[in-house]
Structures are given as C-alpha cells and as structure tokens.
Chain A
C-alpha cells in the first residue's frame, strides 16, 4: 500500500475521490481556505460548484442526491457558513436524502472561546443529522470521512455533517487509500415467518390499498412494487415523497393521499379493509387525524426503519427491512388476487372524481400551466418544486413515470428549496432539462441561485406560478381565518421578475394568457439554458381537494363553500 504524507485538506479530498465523489457544492470562507487550496490542486478530479449562498449549496447537494441516489456533498466555512447549511441539512434529514455536509471551524485550541466565526455546528445539527462528527486529530480524519459516507448511504439514508477545524486541515499525517464499504440495508429482521404471515393477511383482504412513500425510491423497489400491485390487483396511492416510485400512468395508480390528496385516494383510504404501507411513514400531512385514517382497516407496515413502526399509526403487522428485499421475497409467496368488486369501486370513484377539478375560466391558471408542463416535458425532464400551492398542484397534476424525476421538499416544506435543488439535479444529469415549479414567494427567497445556473450554463427552467400572494397561507386565511389576510400579500413588492432574471443573465419571459403557455414551455426547452417563465395567475385559485386540519381524510372538501 502506498503511503502518502498529506495534510488534512488533501486527505479530505482523497477520501472524497475514494468515495466516488466528483462534484461538490460550496462557498469558501476563512476557515476552509486550506480545503479550497486542495480543491485547486485537485481541480482536474473534482468539480466544485460555487453557489450564491451556502443554503443554495446545501439544496444543490440534496437535489444532486435525490436525482441520482448518490451522496450529495456540500462545503461551507465556520460560523455563518455552517448555519446557512442548516435549513438544507434539515430538509435532507426529513426526506431521508443522503448528504455529507463539510464545515470548517476555528482551530482546536480556539474552540469554545466565542472566537470569530465560531459556532458549535455539531451541537446545532445534532437533531437534524443521522450522525455528525468534529475531527480533532488529523489521524482520525480519513476514517471519519469514510464512516460519514457509509452512514449517509446505508439503511435509511440521511445527512451526516463533518466539522473540521482549520488546524486539522493543515496538519499532516500518513494517508493510504481504502476501498469504500458497500452501503448496508437492514434485512436481518425479514424472516420466512414474517413473510408468510404477511402473505396470509394479504390473501384474506377484500379491499386492499397500497400506500407508498419515498422508501420505495430510496430502495429502488419500483419494479417489485409494480409486480406486487399487479398480483394484488390493488390500487396504489402515494405520499408526496412517493411520487415517481409508482408510474402515474399505471391503471392502479390513484394519486397522492392526504391533506391535498386526490378524492379517489382519500375515499379508498376510508373504505379499505387492509392498508399496506411501503417505505412510508404516515406523516401528519398524509394521516391528518389518526382516528379518521383507514379506521376500518388492518395495517401492514413495511419499512427499513424500526422507529417508524407504530409511531404515527398503530399497525397490526409490520416487517422491518429494506423494501426491495421484502417485496422481492414476498411477491413469490403471493397468489394472484381477484378483488373485482373493489376494483369496480376504484373505477367508479375515478369516474366520479376526475383528476381535474378545474372549471376553465379563460384566465391563466396555475394548474393549467402545470398540466401543460406535464404534457410537453414529463417524458424528458426532471421536475423540482418549491413549497406551497404550486407544489400541491404539481403533486396532483404532473404525470411522473419514473423514480428520481420528481423532487420536492416533503417533510420540512422548505420554501426556497427548488432552485438550488434544480441546480444540483442539473449538474448531476447533464443534458436533461430540470424544471423547477416555484411560487413567487419561493422565487423571491432564493432567486440568487439563478446566478449559479447561469455561471455553469445549466438547462434549468424556473416556472414561477405568480399569484402575488403567499397562496397556501392565504388559502388557510380564506377558509379558516375569516379572510383576514395577514402579511400574505406580495402586491406591494413590485419586483419585475423578467428584468431581475435578465439581470442575472437568464432568459426570461412573461406569460399572462393560456394561449401563450405551450409556446413558452417549448421555447424554454429548446433554449437548453437557464430560463425563467413568469406566469401571472389570479390570487384566488385554491388547492383542492383539501382535508381541513383535524378531520379524517375522507372528509375532504372539493371547493369553497358558496
């Protein structure tokens, strides 16, 4: 084995290369200068993307990870650099996205003295990382980086932070390369007995409903899921994180379940006698009121994380293990089920509640823009969203056929997530158009990352569904707070998004009528460059169906009370 004498910064980069990392997103600062110096030395082997803000770097690493399944890496300096990563780390944690965040810190002897730009980032990120490290001995650096990657990608993936004081970056020690450990996916608890019992329960079900989440995508279990659904002849509903894990075009697909779930999925959830949750965690945005959720059903929960079992919903039965492994062992044990009556009920509901609940008014509407995006770009693009009404319209209207083609901040609901994540997805998928569907509130938060898309000439299309209000909060104010529109109007802000985007060097245009939509989308796709489409819609378009807070999922409303 070749032993090299390297400094900590070089060891870090060697370890990144060892893990197969060729891309990192970051922003320099005083306490990571040695790492940036090493990046300069290794610039032929590792591409560093300079974002406008550390938060953008964290979302970019997340978008990179979600669109590939590989570990996304971001880098920031100590203090404010580190704290600016926090929102992105929490976003990745809530959605189980594999990420390694690297921060610099003040030298070890200066720790704990409120030194300039010092912050206890391992303390701050303790509850929002799978694990974190501060390295206080250069001899431990290489093993720490290896362990961080192993943790980030194993079992239920998630973010890991490594804090490296600047004197550790400059200290030297021997380094020898190692082959990285393969990711481990818990499967020791999948026993023949568990599988047989599950099969028996499934065979006894008359009205089974499959509910899937992000775990199907993380585990790359889409093919096994399709087979499972076909054997059962059962409808499949998805959480926001599950979109793409089961093809939208599949006849058993009934759309998203939950607060803004489809009327079909939510009705089936109240009528089913057996609910099979796969790689999903019964989030409160899915369940709403636990007492009104699938109350007539037995629940079988299949998930890699034992801590999710019986957390939000008590289950009759569970299998802890990698979803792909479980389904591939379970499918051969199952007999083809014939639930004709139940299937008829699904068809009946699909006819009663067609996907589009919209009455065309002639004016430009957010949902129409998204439906056209789906029709014109779903076969070639990766979709990303920000958070709010446009996000729910995207969840309800985009036809997503494959995993990793739909990226959204599900658990944390991070406004401003989309553009950074789109940059990361575009870097990871050269030549693939990446469309971020954003609201004007979200675009305003982090539009600065347009500069990044322009600098690296990425085919990122930012579609701003611009209603000049913070629409989702306004919708709640309209429905549940007596139309007291407190601080949700953006009408007073007169920013011209086209001019703003052009100032960043992006192509941009306004769309104000339905007739202009297709042309705008096709033009943006043809450009293969950063492009912003500002779609001016009315302020009163709401997201329906909606289950009011605290109600059972069956108690959805389809429109505002007259």
Chain B
C-alpha cells in the first residue's frame, strides 16, 4: 500500500542521497519525492511517497531516523493529513478543441498558463485523485507533456514536526 513519509532533515549537502539510498537498498521505488526548506532555514522537509509492505516501510522509517542529519520522520495518514501536488499538463489544442478544454480546466480549477496556436498548458493543484482524474479527461485531446512536483504533505490541526 501507499505510504507518505515526512522527513525533517538538516540542510546539509548529500542528505537527500542518504535518505533515498535507504529506500533503494530495500528495492523500494519512490513514487514521488519533494524537497524544500521548512519554516526554519536550517532544515529542509522531504516528502516521500512509496508503495510497500507496512513492516518494511516501518523498518526503513527507523533506519531513516538513525541518520545523523535526520531530525524527525513520521508517516502521514490520509485521514489526518493534507496532500497536494502541482501538475503541469501540456495538451494539443486546435482552435476547435479549445472551448472544451477550457471548460474541463474550469471545472477542475486548473489555470491556463500558456496558449499557443497548437497547444494549451495548464497548472493543476490537488491531491492524487484529482490530478489523476484531470489527466484522464485530458487524454482524448492528446497529452504532449506532464510534469508533476510530487506530493507535499502536512498534518491537519495543531500537529507539527519536531524542529
């Protein structure tokens, strides 16, 4: 099953390699990975989405926690966290198809960020299900490119990571 791990690391060079290495060693492919600075410049926040056996993921989590540069690691469960991902989609768009595409984009609250004579590029912000549904609906028009940032995740309510 899918696990979303949130990892707080000291912002040192090489820290991403150390974390990612522990997943690849167990043969676990990371579905998505997003990294950025946290509320404190000294720390970065890594969000990892990985498919795998609960026990093995729990094991990897403990090994991640052992890394010197790791401050905190925890799993974010869908029922008590918010997941977001930015997705950029470029589709073929003849003049005739444009109104339909605009309509779908509007329903999904996707922004049109570039229009050319033959293409439309949109940005969509959402969780996995919304993004996947949007991509499905765009397929008939001819998808040229998809770029996704990977999930960023945060706990609901007052819960927060140890920094």
**Inter-subunit contact A126/B66 (CB<8 Å):** no
Across-interface contacts of B18 in A (CB, < 8 A): 126
Are B66 and A127 in touch, CB under 8 angstroms?
no
Q: Is A421 positioned at the interface, with any CB of B under 8 Å from its CB?
A: no
B59 touches A127 (CB 8 A): no
Is A310's CB under 8 angstroms from B59's CB? yes
Rounded to whole angstroms, the CA-CA distance of A306 and B67 in the bound complex is 12
The reply to whether B14 and A131 contact each other, CB–CB distance below 8 Å, is no
The reply to whether A151 and B68 form a contact with Cβ atoms under 8 Å apart is: yes
Contact A310 B55 (CB under 8 A): yes
B-side interface size class: 10 to 19
Q: Does B106 contact A (CB under 8 A)?
A: no
Chain B hits for A122, CB < 8 A: 14
Please tell me if the beta carbons of B58 and A310 are within 8 angstroms of each other in the complex.
yes
Indicate with 1 or 0, residue by residue over B47-68, a CB within 8 angstroms of chain A CB atoms.
Answer: 0000000010011001101111
B25 within 8 A of A: yes
* Contact of A126 with B17 in the complex, beta carbons under 8 Å: yes
Kindly provide the distance from the CB of B11 to the nearest chain A CB, expressed in whole angstroms: 15
**Interface check A541, CB cutoff 8 A:** no
List the A side residues contacting B66 at CB < 8 Å: 305-307
CA distance A144 to B66 in the complex (A): 19
- Is A123 an interface position by the 8 A CB rule? yes
A130-B68 in contact (CB<8A): yes
Kindly provide the distance from the CB of A289 to the nearest chain B CB, expressed in whole angstroms. 18
CA distance A307 to B67 in the complex (A): 11
In contact, A311 and B25 (Cβ under 8 angstroms): no
Q: Collect the chain B residues with CB atoms within 8 Å of residue A310's CB.
A: 55, 58-59
* Contact in complex: A127, B58 (CB < 8 Å): no
**Contacts of A122-136 to chain B: CB distance below 8 A:** 122-123, 126-127, 130-131
Q: Which residues of A contact B68 (CB under 8 A)?
A: 130-131, 151
Q: Which residue of A lies closest to B58 (CB)?
A: A310
Contact of A307 among B17, B55, B59 (CB under 8 A): B59
Chain A residues, Cβ within 8 Å of B14? 122-123, 126
Q: Is B78 an interface position by the 8 A CB rule?
A: no
CA distance A309 to B63 in the complex (A): 11
Whether a CB of chain A sits under 8 angstroms from the CB of B36 is no
In this assembly, does B21 line the interface, its C-beta being within 8 Å of a C-beta of chain A? yes
Query: Once the chains are docked, how many angstroms separate the CA of A92 from the CA of B67?
Result: 17
A317 to B62, CA, bound (A): 17
A478 to chain B, nearest CB (A): 33
In the complex the two chains form, what is the Cα distance from A122 to B12 in whole Å? 13
Complex CA gap A131/B63 in Å reads 13
Shortest distance from the beta carbon of B6 to any chain A beta carbon, whole Å: 18
| Residues of the B chain whose Cβ atoms lie less than 8 Å from the Cβ of A131 | 67-69
Q: A126 is contacted by which of B21, B55, B58, B65 (Cβ under 8 Å)?
A: B21
Q: Across the interface, which residues of A come within 8 angstroms of B62, CB to CB?
A: 306-307, 309
- List 8 extra interface pairs beyond A306-B62, A307-B65, CB under 8 A: A122-B14, A126-B21, A130-B68, A306-B65, A307-B59, A307-B62, A310-B59, A311-B59
